[in-house]
Chains A and B, each alone.
Chain A
Amino acid sequence: MKVLVAVKRVIDFNVKPRVKMDGSGVDLANVKMSMNPFDEIAVEEAIRLKEKGVATEIVAVSIGPAKAQETLRTALAMGADRAILVQTDEEVEPLAVAKILAKIAEEEQPQMVILGKQAIDDDNNATGQMLAALLGWPQGTFASKIEIADVATVTREVDGGLETVKLNLPAVVTTDLRLNEPRYASLPNIMKAKSKPLVAKSPGDYGVEVARRLETLKVVEPVKRQAGITVGSVDDLVGKLKGLGIAK
């Protein structure tokens, strides 16, 4: 079966985001960018499905600026077979991303689309669910385990523990942290990835309007906590806890 994976180029998870002075957004100039960590897990899972003989082809898709090519090359170096870049300089919202992915899914006819559960920049946690709705497919969100036979059995990380659901195929799965540990691309594979096919498209090719539905009026830093005090001993700490009324 064919597997589609969606990847997003975002601020590297180790970088502390800085809010622009004019309140228009977060400063991304000269900031290290990487593949969204949850999407790396999605790519890794697709590769493992291929290694198990379940998946036959992995198509990686990214919707974003020209530089998102680098993110797709990373996916190819990890083990994806080919890539589609839907290029736009607009900040595309999850709804429009889902619409583009739905069109690609109609063309490519994958049995599964795997995405990260959320992107660490806008923290929406919405694209996979929206895609599943648009396609009328079932969804296995926040997955920590995927088993595929004639149906997909997906274990989900939920507030109360672990929930397991069965999904008819085709299905959409979004990844949580414990699904796997993504591999690093080896140097030979990075070289090989340069010659793997990558086609460039535009949102217009899919007839999708990417104009934003949510207008950002301003972006500010959150209220900072005041620096606290350091105590020297457990007895002092117990005293403070008593002061807070949580110890007798």
Chain B
Amino acid sequence: MSVLILVEHDGKSVKDATLATVTAATKLGEVHALVAGNNADGVAQSAAKIGGVSKVYVANAPALEHQLAEAVAPLIAKLMESHDAFVAPATTTGKNIAPRVAALLDVMQISDILSVEGPDTFTRPIYAGNAVATVRSKDTKKVITVRTTAFEKAAAEGGLASVETVDWSGDPGTSSFVSLEASESERPELTSAKIIVSGGRAFGSSEQFHSLLDPLADKLGAAVGASRAAVDAGYAPNDYQVGQTGKIVAPEVYIAIGISGAIQHLAGMKDSKTIIAINKDEEAPIFQVADIGLVGDLFKIVPELTKKL
């Protein structure tokens, strides 16, 4: 089986989500990678080094620069004439593009897979991860998105794939990029961080959220996350949100502070290796999944913890 994967990148470098996607794809067959962008030859050279990738396609065009689904999906659909499966990471980029490809190919997407059980059989979470379904696809071609925390990362170096330029001139002209308001941070990225400190509504304000959590995160070299309640309340930007509909994370250590543990939040972090919970309510559901719990007032505990680390 030949498999086409979507390389997640920002025009400069290959994002980590790509590496787990390669691992999932190698379980299906020979892996070819697509870099869609503008002046993305450098990214293509990096993608060619990923272990397990045998060929890299690179398509350069102004309309592909921001990887808008309207422009990228027809390109992938064309390449799928010579591939059996398309695999993308379940990032916001992958989730935006893959279903559009699936519909163009008249295929039902297999979303957010946790494992590959066979050439057409996969497991995937449903109901916010409260159930895991094993599904078999009857479509001849597969379109798949991958839960990147469920697969090991392929080696970023060591591969020797060939790079092939593909012509693309299919800008439908129906959409255009305006701007990206990026969250600037010196801290690690949430989805690839080894340690995450995450805050909930109990922080009470944006000021307290940042003045208490940021120093703790900096001491630990951790990324900062948030519950939906904290994001809705405006304490943290949207891209901090961990949960069913936010980011799915699985760090070595997840420290949940002032987060009660709604099922929608647990869905996003319960595969973390070690979960630590700090909450004043000892009945909070977060303690049911925590490996280490501390009951008490976060306004006292967090500064003391930061000081003693």
Q: Does A199 reach chain B (CB closer than 8 Å)?
A: no
| A142 to B291 alpha-carbon distance, docked (Å) | 33
CB distance from B122 to the nearest CB of A (A): 9
B253's contact among A120, A232, A235, A246, by CB below 8 Å, is which? A246
Q: Does A194 reach chain B (CB closer than 8 Å)?
A: no
CB distance from A178 to the nearest CB of B (A): 6
| A139 to B71 alpha-carbon distance, docked (Å) | 11
Chain B residues, CB < 8 A from A178: 231-232, 238
Residue of B101, B127, B134, B263 with most partner-chain A CB within 10 A = B127
Instruction: Name which residue of chain B comes closest to A245, CB basis.
Output: B252
Size category, A interface: 35 or more
Instruction: Count B-side interface residues using an 8 Å CB cutoff.
Output: 89
Q: Does B198 reach chain A (CB closer than 8 Å)?
A: no
Instruction: Name which residue of chain B comes closest to A10, CB basis.
Output: B127
A246's contact among B102, B176, B195, B263, by CB below 8 Å, is which? B195
CB distance from A15 to the nearest CB of B (A): 9
Residues 124-139 of A, flagged 1 when their CB comes within 8 A of B and 0 if not, give: 1111111111101111
| A26 to B109 alpha-carbon distance, docked (Å) | 21
Q: Does A190 reach chain B (CB closer than 8 Å)?
A: no
A213 touches B128 (CB 8 A): no
Q: Is the interface of A mostly helix, strand, loop or mixed?
A: mixed
Chain B residues, CB < 8 A from A158: 92-93, 180, 239
Residues 86-129 of B, flagged 1 when their CB comes within 8 A of A and 0 if not, give: 00000111011111111110111111100000000100011111
B130 touches A138 (CB 8 A): no
Chain B residues, CB < 8 A from A133: 73, 99-104
Chain A residues, CB < 8 A from B121: 217
| A215 to B270 alpha-carbon distance, docked (Å) | 27
A225 touches B275 (CB 8 A): yes
Chain A residues, CB < 8 A from B289: 225
Q: Does B69 reach chain A (CB closer than 8 Å)?
A: yes
| A167 to B68 alpha-carbon distance, docked (Å) | 11
Q: Which A residues between 1 and 23 are near B, CB-CB below 8 angstroms?
A: 11, 13, 16-17, 19
Task: Contacts A139-B70, A216-B134 given; indicate if A165 touches B175 (C-beta within 8 A).
Answer: yes
Chain B residues, CB < 8 A from A187: none
Instruction: Name which residue of chain A comes closest to B127, CB basis.
Output: A17
| A140 to B245 alpha-carbon distance, docked (Å) | 16
Instruction: Name which residue of chain B comes closest to A241, CB basis.
Output: B309
CB distance from A237 to the nearest CB of B (A): 5
CB distance from B149 to the nearest CB of A (A): 13
Chain A residues, CB < 8 A from B220: 246-247
| A118 to B101 alpha-carbon distance, docked (Å) | 17
Q: Does A81 reach chain B (CB closer than 8 Å)?
A: no
Chain A residues close to B by CB (< 8 Å): 11, 13, 16-17, 19, 26, 38, 93-95, 98, 117-118, 120-134, 136-139, 141-142, 144, 153, 156-168, 171, 176-178, 212-222, 225-238, 240-241, 244, 246-248
Taking A138-B172, A141-B69 as given, write out 7 further A-B residue pairs in contact, using a Cβ cutoff of 8 Å, ordered by the A residue number: A95-B103, A139-B70, A142-B92, A160-B180, A217-B136, A236-B294, A240-B276
29 A-B residue pairings within 8 Å (CB atoms): A94-B108, A95-B102, A95-B103, A117-B245, A123-B125, A124-B111, A129-B95, A133-B102, A133-B104, A138-B174, A141-B69, A142-B96, A158-B180, A159-B91, A161-B180, A162-B237, A168-B173, A213-B107, A214-B110, A214-B138, A215-B137, A215-B138, A221-B131, A221-B132, A225-B275, A229-B292, A230-B287, A230-B292, A240-B292
Chain B residues close to A by CB (< 8 Å): 10, 66, 68-70, 73, 91-93, 95-104, 106-112, 121, 125-139, 172-183, 191, 195, 220, 228, 231-232, 237-239, 244-245, 247, 252-253, 263-264, 270, 274-276, 282, 287-295, 301, 304-305, 308-309
